[in-house]
Amino acid sequence: MLRTEDAAIAVEVVLRGHFQPIDGRFHWYGRIAANPEVDALTGGRSARVVLSTDDGDALGTLSDPDPWSRHRITGVGRPPFAVPTSLSDLEPTDPA
């Protein structure tokens, strides 16, 4: 769910992130699938939003849309998705 002060829109988003040792913070980012409601909400400009998932909420910034009407979202700090904090949190991989 993508939220602003004025609206809440269900979106499809793919997210990733990494710890940045230079500033000591977690940087997360992703791409929101083309959605005319997002275009109408932002007017084709960047915007501050809250992205909500089952794992949490996070403040982020939407970029201008790309040529395919997808918006990039970026944020710093706690992401809106679960992050493994130990090796035991990772899914086992097939050693073959």
Map out the domains of the chain as residue ranges. Answer: 2-80
For the whole model, what pTM was predicted? 0.84
Average pLDDT per 10 consecutive residues for the chain, totaling 96 residues:
91 96 96 94 88 96 92 96 81 69
CA 56 to mean position of chain CA atoms: 11
Cβ count within 10 A of residue 35: 19
17 CB-near residues (< 8 Å, 6+ apart): 26, 27, 28, 29, 79, 81, 83
